[in-house]
């Protein structure tokens, strides 16, 4: 049990709706990452935070996606006007080691109908 | 472009034998490499890592070998156990610790 938690674990929504996911890391004020994983692929980097600052965003993160990490603690990922192509597992991870080890939460499985 | 490749989608190994999972990469600037294990409906679980300045790292039944000249790394699991059945991901990173992942290899341990 890494201690990184994500909520909800599953989300089913209709196309065009907005969804928000939450990630609670083990500890505050360190690096927190968001990834997306589709079937048969490895996780793809979306964005990361150092404390409350969002330092990098992937080109995968369209303007419909926004992430926040107020006060450097928990983080939220919002997807506006969801599309069927947004269906995926959304993973949150926390940097945990000097060799780049990241500990992952259980993920949120999003299904857009 | 795929900077990290796992060319075997699946691998079947007899219980008690050695499992060898392979990974190739193209970016010579990667500083470190990691192996993760993933069960369905769970997040990836960290297994073992290796710095680019080393060629071997061992942790219990798991050993990772790095061949920088060939841009190749492998994970050896000895002996293989039924609980090792999962999808294994190779990942690589540099600098800001953004990880680039392979597509995974599904390992099946036969009794």
Q: From A4, which residue of chain B is nearest by alpha-carbon distance?
A: B43
Per-residue pLDDT at A72: 81
A interface test, pick of B6, B64, B97, B102 with most A CB neighbours within 10 Å: B97
Which burial class, exposed, middle or buried, applies to B54 when counting CB atoms under 10 A from its CB (0-12, 13-18, 19+)? middle
Whether the Cβ atoms of residue A18 and residue A79 lie closer than 8 Å to each other: yes
Interface contact flag, A107 B104, Cβ < 8 Å: no
Cis peptide before A28 (omega within 30 of 0): no
Mean of pLDDT over chain A: 91
**Encoding tokens for residue B96?**
């800001």
Angstrom distance (rounded) from CA A96 to CA A103:
6
Which among B51, B98, B104 is the nearest to A42, CB-wise?
B104
Whether the Cβ atoms of residue B37 and residue B102 lie closer than 8 Å to each other: no
Convert the pLDDT of each residue in B10-26 to its tens digit. 999 999 999 999 999 99
Convert the pLDDT of each residue in B35-70 to its tens digit. 999 998 889 999 999 999 999 999 999 999 999 999
Confidence of residue A27 (pLDDT cuts 50, 70, 90): confident
E-strand spans in chain B?
4-5, 10-14, 19-25, 32-38, 45-51, 56-59, 62-67, 72-77, 86-94, 98-101, 105-110
**Tokens 């083990």 correspond to what residue?**
A26
């Amino acid at each position: 049990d890494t201690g990184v938690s994500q909520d909800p674990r599953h989300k089913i929504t209709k196309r065009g709706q907005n969804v928000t996911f939450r990630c609670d890391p083990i500890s505050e004020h360190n690096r927190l990452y968001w990834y997306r994983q589709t079937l048969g692929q490895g996780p793809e980097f979306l964005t990361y935070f150092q404390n409350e600052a969002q330092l990098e965003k992937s080109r995968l993160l369209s303007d419909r996606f926004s992430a926040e990490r107020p006060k450097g603690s928990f983080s939220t990922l919002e997807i506006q006007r969801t599309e069927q192509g947004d269906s995926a597992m959304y993973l949150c991870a926390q940097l945990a080691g000097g060799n780049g080890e990241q500990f992952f939460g259980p993920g949120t499985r999003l299904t857009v109908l | 472009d795929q900077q990290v490749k796992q060319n075997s989608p699946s691998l079947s190994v007899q219980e008690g034998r050695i499992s060898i999972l392979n990974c190739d990469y193209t970016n010579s600037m990667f500083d470190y490499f990691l192996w993760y294990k993933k069960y369905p409906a769970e997040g990836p679980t960290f297994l073992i890592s290796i710095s680019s300045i080393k060629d071997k790292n061992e942790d219990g039944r798991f050993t990772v070998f790095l061949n920088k000249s060939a841009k190749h790394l492998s994970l050896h699991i000895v002996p293989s156990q039924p609980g090792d059945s999962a999808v294994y991901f190779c990942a690589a990173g540099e600098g800001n610790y953004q990880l680039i992942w392979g597509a995974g290899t599904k390992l099946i341990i036969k009794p």
